[in-house]
Amino acid sequence: MSAVVTHAQHGAVAVISINSPPVNALSHAVRSGIADALTAIKAEGKAKAVLLWCGGRTFVAGADITEFGKPSKPPILPDVIAVIEAMPIPVVAAIHGTALGGGLELALGCHYRVASLDAKWGLPEVKLGLLPGAGGTQRLPRAIGPIAALKVIVSGAHQPAKLGHDLGLIAAIIPGDLKAGAIAFAETVGAKAGPHPRLRDDTAKLEVDRAKFDTAVTEALSKSRGLEAPAACAAAVAMSLDTPLDDALKLERASFMKLVAGDQSKAQRHLFFAEREAAKVPGVGPDVRPRPIKNAAVLGAGTMGGGIAMCFASAGIPVTLIEQTEENLKRGLSIIQKNYEASAKRTGADPAGVAKVMALITPKVGLEHAKDADIVVEAVFEEMALKKTIFATLDAVCKPGAIIASNTSYLDIDAMAAATKRPGDVLGMHFFSPANVMKLLEIVRAKYTAPDVLATAMSVGRKIGKVPVVVGVCHGFVGNRMLAQRSKQSELLLLEGALPHEVDAVVTGFGFPMGPFAMGDLAGLDIGMRSRKERGVRAEIADTIAEAGRYGQKTQKGYYRYEEGRRAPIRDPEVEAIIVAASKKLGVTRRPISNDEILGRMLYPMINEGARILDEGVAARPGDIDIVWINGYGFPIAKGGPMHWADSVGLPKIRDDLARFAKAANDPTLEPAQLLVRLAAEGKGFASLAGAKA
């Protein structure tokens, strides 16, 4: 008998138990264990029914993703499901935790499914760049109807047990002891005469209006820009309408095998594991307990502070929002209120919810109101002198054990920590704009940040719905430091011969939602101009444009022009004249620049900076950098993040191109980083460094 799958007799019911922590994924041992157990139960001939039960925290949460891309060892999952369907006695799946992907497909092969009330189910393969490959696209439509199945499969979202029960997928919700209730259920159905219901034979729900189905497909695919898997999922579900089951199963499997071998799924699987690795902070073991966080304070009710306060309030954490004047407070609060109202309108949520969540935000003037906070996030102006004064005041005001965080974009957290007598309690919590929407949270570990403070920031980050990534102190941390390389190249490309719309088209063609110039117009060009002035540097084109009062969308003019009330960028001959004049002024002969060169110059210098960041230990793993770029900067998911993508291009090419760029621009900062040079020489990629599972 397999070590991970056992079976035992409980009266008339044979209970198969799967025990393969952490999530009972369908590894080869689990698949063969289930098939062997079923064969043995049939041969023993004692049982009237079989119960499929999982030990630990969850029912089977899917195929074993670490086995993808390797030769599959039989029995494959469809074979195991075939054994279940051929059983002469009913097989019942008892679902607790999550029945996902192959786990749900296994349950769909069973004659009945029962679940605990808090169980979840779904087919999240699409999030790994796949479609369900073991019958999910055919059996789920038979269970709940093709349109409902389409929505579940294309979204990949987890669904509540109750919905499964309402739709006819789950035969019974079992309150209390699931195992005992499921055994009783199996006894009852085992006592009935066969044949027992199999979804493969049940076509009653497949009759749908084709036009309605097609409309549902268009809607479901509307947000799947650049990804192959959602369309493959929809095409497979469509087969359930008119293709005989066994033919459809073969086609589904073929489509699955094609996607699993493709670059997009590899990238998405990499991101799945990278996100989980990023949750593990070097030096912060599982024994480090986060501090309890019952309330928060946010300093500054501006662009970021308002959004950060919303994050806490939306997660049910009471927050004191602190400003320097009543007027600023009022303005900040009214923006928060409007944001909540707009989102309630958009999602159709109860408007009464807005008042409820607003009640969790207490507006106050004066830093002394941070005294009772368990965590304080500072989001005042980006000025070191001001931040140091504020940190010193917080040190005097805050209770012992309070965590003091800064949302600074670039500044040195160690210097802020040094303004306090409790540097162990200080760290960076760098949110991205708009803070209530963007998923990324860079958690900046300063020199003396205590491990439990990091653990708390990670846990709070997750609680408020962010993807936290720990980074080290340096100018701009991971994301903005890499972005600075792209910004420098954007300016140079214009100077040498490109135009904003050409650069933006290459970058959006790669899969970013926006190019650097449209992005600049959205963020506001005055910010960069002011920051360059402070640093005493000049970017001829960017500064001339901003100095002309062209601040971007807010002035309807930036790198592009904008029509009243519209956000679509329109080419502007005035800007193009400024660009050409700047080239002339600086003595640069304009030349045609190929799309390949544009793409290389947009991405390779950033990857180079990423290599330096890894070498310096500012990021612990290449996957952490990928998670930053996917969640904070719109890097296309299908490409897996800059460092994963770099591996797919090949580091020798990137090294050679960077060396050429450095020579052409006479810019030593473009010389390939040592780490990149070493890996390229060894024929390795960034993935060889750490944490590569997929």
> What are the catalytic residues?
105, 125
Cβ atoms within 10 A of the Cβ of 1, count?
10
Per-residue tokens: 131 = 């479609």
Q: Under the criterion CB under 6 A, does residue 407 sit at the interface with ligand NAI?
A: yes
> Minimum distance between the CB of residue 3 and ligand 3HC, rounded to whole angstroms?
18
- Under rule CB under 6 A, how many of the chain's residues touch ligand NAI? 22
Closest of 241, 388, 403, 380 to residue 322, by C-alpha: 380
**The residue count for the chain:** 694
Q: Which among 425, 481, 488 has a CA at the least distance from the CA of 618?
A: 481
Q: Among residues 117 and 279, whose Cβ is nearest to ligand 3HC?
A: 279
Amino acid identity, residue 601?
R
| Bond before 292 cis per omega within 30 degrees | no
User: What distance in Å separates the CA atoms of residue 503 and residue 525, rounded to the nearest whole number?
Assistant: 17
Work out how close the CB of 122 gets to ligand NAI at its nearest, in angstroms, rounded to a whole number. 33
Backbone φ, ψ for residue 100 (5° rounding): -125, 150
Minimum separation from the CB atom of position 108 to ligand 3HC (A): 11
Q: How far apart are CA 111 and CA 197, in angstroms?
A: 5
* Measured CA angle at 554 (ends 553, 556), to 5 deg: 55
408 lies in the site for ligand NAI, by CB under 6 A: yes
CA-based nearest residue to 93, from 115, 125, 71 = 115
Contact status, residue 130 vs residue 253, Cβ threshold 8 Å: no
Quick one: which of 46, 58, 49, 53 has its CA closest to 21? 58
Residue 122 or 306: which CB sits closer to ligand NAI?
A: 306
45 token code pair: 């001939």
Taking Cα atoms as reference points, which of 76, 70, 62 lies closest to residue 24? Answer: 62
Residue 305 interacting with ligand NAI (CB under 6 A) = yes
**Which backbone phi and psi does 557 adopt, to 5 degrees?**
-145, 135
* 238 Cβ neighbours under 8 A, 6+ residues apart: 146, 213, 217
Pairing of strands 296-299, 467-472: unpaired
List residues bridging with 172 in a β-sheet: 114
Strands 13-18 and 5-10: antiparallel
* Partner in contact with 407, chosen from ligand NAI, ligand 3HC, none, beta carbon below 5 to 8 Å by kind: ligand NAI
CB closer to ligand 3HC out of 273 and 410: 273
Q: Which does 13 bind (CB under 5 to 8 A by kind): ligand NAI, ligand 3HC, none?
A: none
CB under 6 A: which stretch of 317-325, 532-540, 561-569, 596-604 binds ligand NAI? 317-325
Question: Interface with ligand NAI includes 339 (CB under 6 A)?
Answer: no
Residue 382 binds which of ligand 3HC, ligand NAI, none (CB < 5-8 A, kind-dependent): ligand NAI
Q: With respect to ligand NAI, which residue has the nearer C-beta, 323 or 540?
A: 323
Q: Of the two residues 100 and 377, which places its CB atom closer to ligand 3HC in the complex?
A: 100
User: By the 8 A CB rule, do 306 and 299 touch?
Assistant: no
Does 381 sit near ligand NAI (CB under 6 A)? yes
Among 129-137, 142-150, 318-326, 681-689, the segment contacting ligand NAI (CB under 6 A): 318-326
To ligand 3HC, the closest distance from the beta carbon of 2 in angstroms equals 18
In the bound complex, what is the minimum distance in angstroms from residue 427's beta carbon to ligand 3HC? 23
Does residue 322 bind ligand NAI (CB under 6 A)?
yes
Give backbone dihedrals phi and psi of 366, rounded to 5 degrees, phi first. 110, 130
Report, in Å, the least distance between residue 78 CB and ligand 3HC.
Answer: 8
164 binds, among ligand NAI, ligand 3HC, none (CB under 5 to 8 A by kind): none
494 binds, among ligand 3HC, ligand NAI, none (CB under 5 to 8 A by kind): none
Q: Which one among 409, 420, 436, 485 touches ligand NAI, defined by CB under 6 A? A: 409
Q: Which of 19, 188, 339, 433 binds ligand NAI (CB under 6 A)?
A: 433
Q: Which residues of this chain interact with ligand 3HC, rule CB under 6 A?
A: 22-23, 25, 61-66, 77, 98, 100-102, 105, 124-125, 128, 130, 132-134, 136, 273, 276
380 binds ligand NAI (CB under 6 A): yes
Residue 101 partner contact from ligand 3HC, ligand NAI, none using kind-dependent CB cut-offs of 5 to 8 Å:
ligand 3HC
Residue 134 binding target from ligand 3HC, ligand NAI, none, CB below 5 to 8 Å by type: ligand 3HC
Stretch that binds ligand NAI, among 119-127, 136-144, 294-302, 335-343 (CB under 6 A): 294-302
β-pairing, 159-160 vs 120-122, is antiparallel
φ/ψ (deg, to 5) at 72: -85, 135
Helical packing angle, 651-665 and 674-681, nearest 10°: 140
d(CA 430, CA 443): 6
Choose the one of ligand NAI, ligand 3HC, none that binds residue 301, judging by a C-beta under 5 to 8 angstroms depending on kind.
Answer: ligand NAI
User: What H or E segment, with its residue span, contains residue 51?
Assistant: strand 49-54
Of residues 167 through 206, those in contact with ligand NAI by CB under 6 A are: none
Tell me the two tokens of residue 480.
Answer: 């903005």
Do the Cβ atoms of 515 and 505 come closer than 8 Å? yes
Closest alpha carbon to 84 in 56, 54, 112:
112
Residue 302's binding partner, choosing from ligand NAI, ligand 3HC, none, with beta-carbon cut-off 5 to 8 A by kind?
A: ligand NAI
Nearer to ligand NAI, 233 or 404 (CB): 404
Q: How far is the CB of 309 from ligand NAI (least distance, A)?
A: 11
Does residue number 323 form part of the binding site for ligand NAI (CB under 6 A)? yes
Least distance (Å) between residue 76 CB and ligand 3HC = 8
Residues in contact with ligand NAI by the rule CB under 6 A: 299-305, 322-324, 328, 379-382, 390, 407-409, 431-433
